[in-house]
Amino acid sequence: MIIFIAMKTCIVVSLVLFCSIVAEGQTSAVQLFHDKILYLNTDNPLTIVAEGYPCKSLTVSINNGTIKGRDGHYIAHPDSLNYNTIITIKAKTPKGIIELPQQYFWVRRLPGQIHGEVDSSIKR
């Protein structure tokens, strides 16, 4: 019985080690307040991080508009409607510059007026 428990424990430990070696973690992330949507002609706050790289080593660019910021906190300002806006993240390492997976976003217009009212409650 003790041998069976020891073998079972050994198998479980082996599976855990094997799975943790095979699995890959997330390499970069862009956090938005709205999922994968940037709004046209307005500032869109972003948090950008990359696993294993300090925020100070990241360089961020966008193919549609401008992006400014540092240390993980950025403001993206797209200038045209586009369903394929790409944010590119590069990390500076001792071995050179590494390009991380690109992040894709939609650009949409901000919601407009409702019955002539902007930023107020709707009268019924």
Q: In whole angstroms, give the CA distance from residue 87 to residue 101.
A: 9
pLDDT in tens, 11-24: 444 444 444 333 34
- Residue 87 lies inside a defined structural domain of this protein: yes
- Residue 93 lies inside a defined structural domain of this protein: yes
The CATH code of the domain that includes 87 is 2.60.40.10
Give residue 35's domain range: 24-108
pTM (whole model) above 0.95? no
- Residue 8 lies inside a defined structural domain of this protein: no
- Residue 7 lies inside a defined structural domain of this protein: no
How many other C-beta atoms can be found within 10 angstroms of the C-beta atom of residue 23? 7
pLDDT of 104: 93
The model's confidence at residue 4, banded by pLDDT at 50, 70 and 90, is very low
- Residue 48 lies inside a defined structural domain of this protein: yes
Determine whether 48 is exposed, middle or buried from the number of CB atoms within 10 Å of its CB (0-12, 13-18, 19+).
buried
pLDDT in tens, 32-88: 656 789 999 889 999 999 999 999 999 999 999 999 999 999 999 999 998 899 999
Total count of domains within the chain = 1
- What is the rounded average pLDDT of the residues 107-120? 70
